[in-house]
């Protein structure tokens, strides 16, 4: 009652406004704005399904208050690529069968993108650590790690071609 405050969020390159009470999470706010690619999993920061990039760093949106993200650059899976022009991670997850049920995929790809921004040529151990906050109940993670390595190679080669 009266404690809601309008905030501006910069999501996937677009500015959006939401009326948000102080206790509302970024997850709830993003989904309320129609960003259903941000999955609602455990709601306590354990599964990574709700991961987004905030100013280029991976964060679990279920533990981030929406007000703390006001004015910052938020990227969801949809902000990385599209069906017509997929991000290399989206492409490799699809081609290598890294996505089974697909529920964890947005968070996995967001965590992998954060890793590859800082570490363009990661070792398997670095990939394992970077994705350790993301749970998948369908795979044994092998295909996911292979997809991240394949995307890293594509991204490095694209960077060299520039």
pLDDT, tens digit, for every residue of 133-146? 999 999 889 999 99
Average pLDDT (24-45) is 97
Asked if residue 27 lies in contact with residue 40, where contact means CB atoms within 8 angstroms, the answer is yes
pLDDT, tens digit, for every residue of 105-134? 999 999 999 999 999 999 999 999 999 999
- 34: pLDDT strictly greater than 70: yes
- 113, two tokens: 């993108």
Write down the pLDDT at residue 161. Answer: 63
- Nearest 5°: CA angle at 139, between 77 and 41? 50
Confidence grade of residue 2 (pLDDT, cut at 50, 70, 90): low
Write down the pLDDT at residue 114. Answer: 98
Query: Domains of the chain, with CATH numbers?
Result: 5-79 (3.10.20.30), 81-161 (1.10.150.120)
- 148, two tokens: 């991240």
Listed in order, strand segments (DSSP E) in the chain are 5-11, 14-20, 51-54, 57-60, 73-75
Residue 36: closest CA among 136, 98, 94, 103? 103
* pTM summary value: 0.94
- 81, two tokens: 């690529």
pLDDT, tens digit, for every residue of 39-79? 999 999 999 999 999 999 999 999 999 999 999 999 999 99
């Amino acid at each position: 009652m009266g404690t809601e405050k309008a905030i501006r969020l910069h999501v996937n390159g677009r500015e959006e406004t939401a009326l948000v009470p102080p206790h509302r999470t970024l997850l709830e706010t993003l989904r309320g704005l129609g960003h259903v690619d941000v999955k609602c999993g455990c709601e306590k920061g354990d599964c990574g399904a709700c991961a987004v990039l905030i100013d280029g760093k991976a964060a679990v949106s279920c533990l981030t208050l929406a007000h703390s993200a006001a004015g910052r650059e938020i990227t969801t899976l949809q902000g990385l690529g599209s069906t017509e022009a997929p991000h290399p991670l989206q492409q490799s997850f699809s081609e290598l069968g890294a996505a089974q049920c697909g529920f964890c995929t947005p968070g996995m790809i967001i965590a992998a993108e954060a890793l590859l921004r800082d570490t363009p040529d990661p070792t398997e151990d670095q990939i394992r650590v970077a994705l350790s906050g993301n749970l998948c109940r369908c795979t044994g993670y092998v295909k996911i790690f292979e997809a991240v390595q394949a995307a890293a190679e594509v991204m490095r080669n694209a960077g060299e071609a520039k």
